[in-house]
Chains A and B, each alone.
Chain A
Amino acid sequence: MILFENVGFRYGRGPDILQGLNFEIPDGEFTFITGASGAGKSSLLRLLYLDDLPTAGKISLFERDVATLTRDEIAWFRRRIGVVFQDFRLLDHLTAAENVALPLKVAGAREAAYRDNVAEMLHWVGLGEQMNVRPPHLSGGEKQRVAIARAVVASPDIILADEPTGSVDPEMAERIMQLFLEMNRLGKTIVFATHDLEMVNRSKQPRIDLSTKTTNNGMAA
């Protein structure tokens, strides 16, 4: 369960990016985060993948106040959270397959144990032929799919996706959307940030809108 209590956030001494956020995302729920460009969607996800602490209020994750986590605990929590970064954050010197394997490798898994799993993931996102290609030689959409495969490969409890359909054509966007819905059916909690309101409106999943600070179920965000 993800719980935000009166959360505020700003970068250094800059302006408040997020203010007075209160919401709860139960386990296994698929939630959209919407809002105009610059509304703070990526910043909110950043708090969820523990790259920053809230500057006000309290965030609870897996029943823990995130402000009390040690550096090791942060690492262990991140193994339960898969993230599709808006800018992908792929390592350019590694192949697509090595990038996808990263969360497994840093958690200490042996290559023999995950090789097939990684190959399967890459086939699934349509990159079976590009396994040994490095990110600089991939298109934006292909990089995005590598990032998606990496986010889900370790079967995390929570998947955070920041505009995961931003760089692909509508057909691929639909496939990716189906992928996340499928993950959700498997019990994963999905937090999906997008400004593609059309896509959000097509689905009936709950949403948190950062521009208006409302949720579609009436709870003040």
Chain B
Amino acid sequence: MRRSSLIPFKAGGGFLMALIVAAMAFLACFALGGALGASKLANAWTEGLSGAATVRIGAEDGAPEQQLGIVLDILKSSEGVIDAVPLTTDEVAALLKPWFGATPELADLPAPAIVAVTIDPLNEPDTAIIQARLDGAAAGAVYDDHGEWRGRAASAAHAVRSVAIGALIVCAFAIASVVILTVRTGLSAHKENIATLRLAGAEDRYVAGLYQSRYFWLGLLGGVLGCLLAFAAMIGFDAMPTVSRALPALELPTYWWLVFPGVILFVVILCILAARFTVLGTLRRGA
């Protein structure tokens, strides 16, 4: 006995809807990839900074050598500070080089003294307390733990993540809408056919099952297609020399490829659920 579907779905009828799903899956991959990349980038920026701080002692505030000793004492006796080492004149010159160029007379200029502070990342010292102690003993010494910079990097990453989550929600919404729309159209086109199934004793969930298996395949087709395109696009994007040079830190984490099976699974489940509840709801309302 031949085996035909109990509902005469048109062979090419779902292809357009699968293409829309593919487009949404493609966008979802980029949204997720972008969110992962942004998190990684923010971590890379802040990680290098979170174990370090600096104290700058202005050159104009009297005798730097004398103040340096006091500052080092204060730092070393502060909780959370592991080490404090003054930079040599050469190291300071190297730091200043991009602004002043390689001037041999730099040593004669009143350059600020800089102390590199190693702090315990798990027990970061309180910026305000250290600054207050410095203010009391060595006016002009400024403690900088890059807190502001780290905060800005974190909030930029957070913003990118929010946008990505928003984009995912929009994609999910678009997929659910196109499934609901096409299932409803299908139900009304196959109304007589479905009435016959019901009269033969089919429960609503049996009819829903027929749609679920069809939308499983359409969702899988769309999801795989969209993810393949996104994969190809990301490989191509990464291979562009201008991109990797401009954004050296925009390397995705090693598990980034999990985005693709994740998006496919998400799309397929969404298609099945949207189809199921549309059929059950429409039949219950007596369509």
Contacts and interface: CB of A to CB of B under 8 A. Distances in A.
Interface of A: 49, 51, 71-72, 75-76, 78-79, 83, 85, 89, 91-95, 97-98, 101-103, 105-107, 111, 115, 118, 131-132, 150, 154
B199 A89 contact: yes
Contacts of B196: 89, 91, 102
B247 to A, nearest CB: 55
Given A71-B204, A89-B196, A95-B1, 16 more contacts: A51-B199, A71-B203, A71-B283, A72-B204, A78-B200, A78-B201, A89-B199, A91-B196, A93-B4, A93-B8, A94-B4, A95-B4, A98-B2, A111-B3, A115-B1, A132-B1
A71 B203 CA distance: 7
A123 B259 CA distance: 56
A105 B2 contact: no
B206 interface: yes
A154 B2 CA distance: 19
A102 B1 contact: no
Contacts of B3: 98, 111
A89 B192 CA distance: 9
B284 interface: yes
A150 B1 CA distance: 15
Interface in B1-24: 1-4, 6, 8
A101 B203 CA distance: 16
Contacts, number: 67
Interface of B: 1-4, 6, 8, 193, 196-204, 206, 283-284
A24 to B, nearest CB: 25
Contact of B1 (A76, A83, A92, A111): A111
Contacts of A154: 201
B201 A98 contact: no
Contacts of B2: 95, 97-98, 132
Given A115-B1, A132-B2, A106 B201 contact: yes
B200 A106 contact: yes
Contacts of A101: 1
Contacts of A51: 199
Contact of B6 (A83, A94, A131): A94
Nearest to A77: B201
Contacts of B206: 75, 106
Most chain-A Cβ atoms within 10 A of its Cβ — which of B3, B196, B198, B200?
B200
Contacts of A78: 198-201
A52 B7 CA distance: 23
A103 to B, nearest CB: 5
Contacts of A132: 1-2
B259 to A, nearest CB: 39
A78 B203 CA distance: 10
A103 B196 CA distance: 10
